Amino acid sequence: MSNVTLLKDRIARRECRVGVVGLGYVGLPLVLRFGEVGFRVMGFDIDVAKVDQLNSGTSYIEHVPAPRVQALLDARRFEATADLGRLGEPDAVIICVPTPLTQHRDPDLRFIERTADAVAATLRRDQLVCLESTTYPGTTEEVVLPRLEARGLRVGEDFFLAFSPEREDPGNAHFDTATIPKVVGGVTPDCLALASALYAEAIKQIVPVASTRVAEATKILENVYRAVNIALVNELKIAFERMGINVWDVIEAAKTKPFGFQAFYPGPGLGGHCIPIDPFYLTWKAREYGVATRFIELAGEINAGMPAYVILKLMEALNERGKALKGSRILVLGAAYKRDTDDSRESPGLEIMEELFHRGAKVEYSDPHLPRLPIVRRHKIDLASVVLSEASLRQYDAVLLVTDHTRFPYDLIHRSASLIVDSRNAFRARQLTGPHVVPA
């Protein structure tokens, strides 16, 4: 019996051990899913605090309940560790590490490279390695594969390598790790077959594709599509405003067309780890082939300019009331990048807060999902969330809505705030209008 057949059989009997490297918004849900369908799972992370929390049965991600972690611990199907020297223990290693940009908008692959080196140091025969981190087409075979083959083992014979883009959407009530279709590409046919077999045990629909490059490009296309269309409605929002037209009314009317139109909505800027970052991985790689990705560059320019536009609308609203931004007390509503999550990665709210501080405003924030702002790569703001009440809201010269969480008490805010600048159309959508509610 071949090693491929043996590993497939072990996967089918759920006897193989799964390792997940990177226990964030992508890796931790994957750990839980594999554990809950019967696999023994090791979670790897260089953040010792995260490892300790998980091993004590607690969770640091809001939409990942602690009882799910504790249940796997009780069943002895999960262990977290910061020791990358143990990467040789799992039969399958899934890599879910960050892929940020440098300050010059070039890919920063150091986390993939370091993880690949760590996997290579313990790589053994018949291990399956899957990369999930979003990156440019070619990364799996150009960056990861040479590192894994450096000690003499050969892909498709001694070990197996695949790419399967993560598609996590924190806070999505309709789709989760188990129900989001899983695109999988392998370096060789056996690599594809084994990776597909593994994911099929935990995820309902597997979408095999021709190569790792196709799988890598799939995720990039998905995020470029969203970035470009969001940039379009952001640009139209500004143009329509000059014409006296409310873009939200236009979108609501346009989306009644049953074909040929998909609604995208404007906002204060792009957030999250995907849409603001991933398109520029393709831009960087396309330059290697002499291709200018002008749509991506333009979309990035428009979306990156939205926080400044929102601040301009805030300044104009204050000026109408005889107040300058400098010295004004501003309450920012929402620090997470999207509604009803605690995910603040690349959040436009953090960028807006820093710029308001820079301009001399006195800034505080309120977010029911983020009791204290995390210190992140780009922003270091040490603030705790303000509890909303009639008394607290009356203290501010303006309230700026950045993230439209459903848990915000919109009636109370509308009744108590002297000025509301709304970048999400949240108040108008609830028929909470008036001269003190200004769209942005």
Give the end of a domain, one of 246, 268, 299.
Answer: 299
Give the end of a domain, one of 272, 299, 326.
Answer: 299
Phi-psi region of 6 (alpha: psi -120 to 50; beta: other; left: phi over 0): alpha
H/E segment holding residue 215: helix 212-242
Asked, for residue 215, whether it belongs to a domain, the answer is no
Structural domain harbouring 275: 220-285+293-299
pLDDT value, residue 278: 82
φ/ψ of residue 45, rounded to 5: -155, 140
Side-chain half-sphere of 152: how many Cα atoms within 13 Å?
A: 1
Q: Tell me, what CATH number does 260's domain have?
A: 1.10.1040.10
261 and 369 share a domain?
no
243 and 391 share a domain?
no
Locate the DSSP E strands across 233-349.
Answer: 329-333
Q: Tell me, what CATH number does 355's domain have?
A: 3.40.50.720
CA distance linking residue 65 with residue 22, whole number of Å: 18
204 and 228 share a domain?
no
**Over its length of 440 residues, how does the chain's per-residue pLDDT go in tens digits?**
578 899 999 999 999 999 999 999 999 999 999 999 999 999 999 999 999 999 999 999 998 999 999 999 999 999 999 999 999 999 999 999 999 988 778 899 999 999 999 999 999 999 999 999 999 999 999 999 999 999 999 999 999 999 999 998 887 889 999 999 999 999 999 999 999 999 999 999 999 999 999 999 999 999 999 999 999 999 999 999 999 999 999 999 999 999 999 999 999 998 877 777 888 888 999 999 999 999 999 999 999 999 999 999 999 999 999 999 999 999 999 999 999 999 998 899 999 999 999 999 999 999 999 999 987 666 778 899 999 999 999 999 999 999 999 999 999 999 999 999 999 999 999 999 999 999 99
318 and 430 share a domain?
yes
Asked, for residue 188, whether it belongs to a domain, the answer is yes
For the range 409-417, what are the long-range contacts, defined as Cβ-Cβ under 8 Å and sequence gap of 24 or more?
Answer: 412/388, 413/333, 413/388, 415/390, 416/389, 416/390, 417/331, 417/393
63 and 159 share a domain?
yes
pLDDT value, residue 101: 86
Give the end of a domain, one of 147, 182, 210.
Answer: 210
- DSSP characters for 132-184? -S---TTHIIIIIHHHHHTTS--BTTTBEEEE------TT-SS--TTTS-EEE
Phi-psi region of 329 (alpha: psi -120 to 50; beta: other; left: phi over 0): beta
Q: Which residues pair with 21 in a beta bridge?
A: 44, 95
234 and 198 share a domain?
no
Residue 5: Cβ-neighbour burial (10 angstroms; 0-12, 13-18, 19+): exposed
- 176 is written with which tokens? 């989760």
Q: Domain count for the chain, please give it.
A: 3
Edge-to-edge strand list for the sheet holding 128-131: 78-81, 40-44, 17-21, 92-95, 128-131, 160-163, 182-186, 206-208
CA distance linking residue 36 with residue 32, whole number of Å: 6
99 and 14 share a domain?
yes
344 and 415 share a domain?
yes
User: How many other CB atoms are found less than 10 A from the CB of residue 50?
Assistant: 20
372 and 224 share a domain?
no
Strands 420-422 and 398-401, by their bridges, are parallel
- 229 is written with which tokens? 């269309």
Q: What is the CA radius of gyration of the chain?
A: 24
CA distance linking residue 247 with residue 230, whole number of Å: 13
- 358 is written with which tokens? 């820079």
Asked, for residue 21, whether it belongs to a domain, the answer is yes
8 Å CB contact between 79 and 42: yes
Asked, for residue 18, whether it belongs to a domain, the answer is yes
Q: Which residues are catalytic?
A: 274
Side-chain half-sphere of 434: how many Cα atoms within 13 Å?
A: 13
Question: Distance from CA of residue 185 to its chain's centroid?
Answer: 22
CA distance linking residue 70 with residue 113, whole number of Å: 32
Using alpha carbons, list the distances in angstroms from residue 4 to 8, 11, 159: 6, 11, 10
As a 3-state breakdown, the chain gives helix, strand, coil percent values, each rounded to 5, of 40, 15, 45
pLDDT value, residue 380: 76
Asked, for residue 341, whether it belongs to a domain, the answer is yes
147 and 28 share a domain?
yes
Asked, for residue 250, whether it belongs to a domain, the answer is yes
242 and 348 share a domain?
no
- CA pseudo-torsion sign 54, 60, 65, 67: positive
pLDDT value, residue 377: 64
201 and 264 share a domain?
no
- Per residue in 100-130, is it b (16+ CB within 10 Å) or e — as a string? ebeeeeebbbebbeebbebbbeebeebbbbb
8 Å CB contact between 19 and 84: no
